[in-house]
A = this chain, B = another copy of it.
Amino acid sequence: MTQPLVPSFPLSSQRFSVSYRLAGDERTAYQRALDICLEQTVEIPDALVPAGMIRSHILGRIETFEPQAEGGYAARISYAVEIAGRDLTQLLNVLFGNISIKKGIRAEWLDLPEVMLRSFRGPRFGRDGLRERLGVPSRPLLCTALKPLGLSPEGLADLAYGCARGGIDIIKDDHGLADQVFARFEDRVASCAQAVARANHETGLRAIYVPNVTAPFDEIRARAHFAKDHGSGGLLVAPGLAGFDAMRYLADDEHLALPILSHPAFQGTYVLHPSSGLSHQLLFGQLPRLAGADATIFPNFGGRFGFTREECAEIARGAVVDMGPIKGIFPTPGGGMSLERVPEMVRCYSADVVLLIGGGLMTPGSDLTENCRRFRRLVENGAPPA
């Protein structure tokens, strides 16, 4: 057989890079970095890498390698832009595909050159666009979730109406709502969107209903369009279940043109262990931004999940860190939040935040709409609760 053929045309020599945190002493960590260069590109031992374009361009390249204050080393490794191109799925593959299976490697930051950043639309609205759409120029945005699972479309619509009457800006489906017999997708979406529209008509506000369109592969597009056609004001997608590129596809659809909320279901494992997986900001900041989310939902510190305040602050940074033409988005902390914590959350995240309170608005014996109004007063006044 003949020698393997390598294309004769040159690559652009432009590269993107990923910063990895590597466990171990200097020698071990450096070996991990060398290994990433091979594993994420040619996937053959170094001795077999052919000279020429493949060795000089395709092979990953260690750009920097430095000890970290918290232990271990940080390596920035670059890859030829042509390996990923405009393909988000393949970008994720190069970023962390096979090395997800190896211990001691955590992907922390992604640096894309202008040519790649320009090939992704990113968030269609971003923070400014979402504020404009909701008519809320400066205060924190309010979000709640319709639950529990098991309610009928009418039951969910009643809740949606109550929340919209109470001044909530974004009323989203709980992410467990799919297309169940007790609340079919189409019935639920039509009922809830209508209920929110009715409330808006009465209040003069601009609340939006955001249904969950995380769905079977071949139904995602149809559900999103049904939602749009029936008055939904946004879409909820869980990229850990549907794939990041499903979200990108919905964000790019000119006929939808709806704000997108990213939900963290099925993704948590990536951030649970500091020596493996992805960093909080990458998973809940840069990646959903690239994939077109306008707001990124994640568990707030001090709620029923275990994120620390610093991890949440890191996500908030990732939501707005400079990515050239890719817009900044809203950090959307939630998960066991209560009204009592609103002032603290605003202090932590600033007013550029979507505050998500679900069950915390449903205190037994109290009125949902009244609780929503109290939630709204808290962010309008910026004052601690009485």
Contacts and interface: CB of A to CB of B under 8 A. Distances in A.
Interface in A266-303: 266-273, 276-278, 299
B1 A100 contact: no
Interface residues of A, number: 107
Contact of A101 (B39, B49, B152, B299): B299
A137 B119 CA distance: 48
A265 interface: yes
A87 interface: yes
**Copies of this protein in the complex:** 2
A369 interface: yes
Contacts of A87: 178-179, 215-216
B272 A83 contact: no
A64 B145 CA distance: 31
A20 B47 CA distance: 44
Contact of A41 (B148, B178, B183): B148
Interface in A338-370: 358-359, 362, 364, 367-369
Contacts of A98: 175, 264-265, 268
Given A97-B175, A174-B43, A176-B43, A148 B58 contact: yes
Contact of A158 (B1, B183, B364): B1
A272 B83 CA distance: 27
Interface of A: 1-2, 4-7, 9, 11, 35, 39-45, 47-50, 53-54, 57-58, 82-85, 87-90, 92-94, 96-103, 145, 147-152, 154-156, 158-159, 161-162, 165, 174-176, 178-183, 214-218, 220, 238, 240-243, 245-246, 248-249, 264-273, 276-278, 299, 304-306, 335, 358-359, 362, 364, 367-369
